[in-house]
Amino acid sequence: MIDLHAHTNASDGTHSPEQLVREAQAAGLSALGVCDHDTFAGADEAVDHGAAAGLEIIRGIELSTRLPMPGSRHGKSVHILGYFLHGNTTDGFRSWLRRLQASRRERNERLAERLRRLSLRVTVEQAEALGGSITGRPHFARLLVSKGYAANQEEAFRLYLGESGKAYVDRWEPEPAEAVRQVLEAGGTPALAHPARLSTRNGDEEEGLLRDLAAAGLAAIEAYHSDHSPEDIRRYRRLAERHGWLVTGGSDFHGEAKPRIKLGCGRGDLSIPGEILHRLREFKRAPSR
């Protein structure tokens, strides 16, 4: 059993890299992909624990991007995975990542300010204390819940943090195609994360996005994911075939932050073929790159 998409507490998961490796071993995984949001801190640390435990760790990152959409104020959030990259990557990728992290920190300041104007007594330091290498809205959601301003994280997003919430603030995010190009330039393998979450309004819209990503050099699509039905998986596998993409898959494990999702098997019936990892590796080794 393999799982190529899990988070640590370096981003919005609750397991430390060491705990994650231990849980992956207990679950019987033979390979684990660690892909935190916008940071390599958790993946880099997990590699050492994996080596000690005899568990193969695939390092990666999940990049937050935003696609401008005609007629949509905030555009669409799109997550791009980058495999086979690590913290000590190229100067170009590192400085691009620093820009992403800086825009997030600056957004967090404005978000805290906006919450205070709504009479919620929160500070960015309090949110950061819940975060790891990066702090995001999920940490703000936990903070709001712990202070009794929301019954649960879902409500925190609905009332305050989500795109229609009262405290929502924009931040600079690269476009998905830009993230694909950055991952490729750094020598990584770019994949589109959980495509079912794109919730495009129609087939043309989805085709348009996929065409742009293909043109940018997308290598793979995450056909296997906890949010995907068997029909979704079949559909994304067909799409991959049509575009000549590889297929990736993972549970998107976040520990206690998403308690129903288990490593390797997602909500219970996720089953990710080990063969997709071999193919990813072959792609990485291909001499044309």
The residue from 2, 4, 12, 20 that contacts Fe ion (CB under 5 A) is: 12
Q: Which stretch binds ligand AMP (CB under 6 A): 43-51, 130-138, 179-187, 242-250?
A: 130-138
The single residue among 136, 174, 176, 249 that binds ligand AMP, judged by CB under 6 A, is 136
Q: Take residue 97 and report the two structure tokens written for it.
A: 């990542």
Binding mask 176-215 for ligand AMP (x = CB under 6 A): ----------------------------------------
107-111 long-range Cβ contacts below 8 angstroms, 24+ apart: 107/169, 107/170, 107/171, 108/135, 108/140, 110/169, 111/137, 111/140, 111/161, 111/167, 111/169
CB-nearer residue toward ligand AMP: 98 or 234: 98
Instruction: Return the structure tokens found at 169.
Output: 């603030």
Judged by CB, which is closer to ligand AMP: 64, or 189? 64
| Strand blocks (E) in the chain | 2-6, 31-37, 56-69, 72-83, 189-192, 220-225, 246-250
Min CB(108)–ligand AMP separation in Å: 8
Closer residue to ligand AMP in complex, CB, 132/138: 138
Least Å distance, CB 202 to Zn ion, is: 26
Contact 248, 276 (CB under 8 A): yes
Distance, CA of 260 to CA of 226 (rounded, Å): 10
Select 40 or 157, whichever has its Cβ closest to ligand AMP.
157
CB closer to ligand AMP out of 37 and 49: 37
Q: Which residues contact 191 (CB under 8 A, 6 or more apart)?
A: 80, 81, 82, 83, 218, 219, 220, 221, 222, 246, 248
* Closest to Fe ion by CB, 163 or 241: 163
Any bridge partners for residue 31, and if so which? 2, 56
DSSP one-letter code for 255: G
β-pair partners for 189: 83
Q: Which of 13, 138, 176, 255 binds ligand AMP (CB under 6 A)?
A: 138
Nearer to ligand AMP, 15 or 137 (CB): 137
Binding mask 176-205 for Fe ion (x = CB under 5 A): -----------------x------------
Residue ranges that bind Zn ion, judged by CB under 5 A: 62, 252
* 79 lies in the site for Fe ion, by CB under 5 A: yes
Q: Which 152-181 residues touch ligand AMP, going by CB under 6 A?
A: 153-154, 157, 162
For 155, the 3-state DSSP assignment is: helix
Is the Cβ–Cβ distance between 211 and 243 less than 8 Å?
no
The first and second tokens of residue 76, run together, are 């669409």
CA distances from 66 to 73, 176, 177 (A): 11, 6, 10
Which of the residues 222 through 281 are near ligand AMP (CB under 6 A)? Answer: none
Question: Which parts of this chain interact with Fe ion (CB under 5 A)?
Answer: 12, 79, 193
Question: Which parts of this chain interact with ligand AMP (CB under 6 A)?
Answer: 64, 136-138, 153-154, 157, 162
